[in-house]
Chain A
Amino acid sequence: MENSIVEIIGAFLVLIGSVFLFLGALGLVRMPDVFNRIQTGTKASTLGTFLTFFGLVFIMPEWWGKLILLIIFILMTNPVSSHVLARAAYCIKVPMFKKTVIDLYGKDAEKLFKKETKNE
Chain B
Amino acid sequence: MVKNAFIFLILIGVAMILVNLFAGFTGNVDLGQIANHYVANGPAEVGSANIVTAVVVTYRGFDTLGEVTILFLSAAIVGFFLKIENTDNTERNLKYTSEILNTASQVLVPIMILFGVYVFINGHLSPGGGFQGGAIIASGLVLMFIAQPKKEIGHKLINIIESISGVGFVLMGLAGVLFAGGFLDNNVIGLGKFGTLFSAGAIPIIYIFVGLKVGSELTGIALSLKENQNEA
Contacts and interface: CB of A to CB of B under 8 A. Distances in A.
Interface of A: 76-77, 80, 83-84, 87, 91, 113, 116-117, 119-120
A87 B95 CA distance: 11
Would you list the 3 A-B pairs with minimal beta carbon distance, nearest first?
A116-B96, A80-B104, A83-B100
Contact of B95 (A76, A83, A117): A117
B178 interface: no
A119 B96 CA distance: 9
Contacts, number: 27
A83 B101 contact: yes
B104 A117 contact: no
Interface of B: 91, 93-96, 98, 100-101, 104, 107-108
Nearest to A83: B100
Secondary structure call for the A interface: helix
Given A77-B104, A84-B100, 7 more contacts: A76-B107, A80-B104, A113-B95, A116-B96, A117-B95, A120-B93, A120-B96
Given A76-B107, A76-B108, A77-B108, A91 B95 contact: yes
Nearest to A72: B111
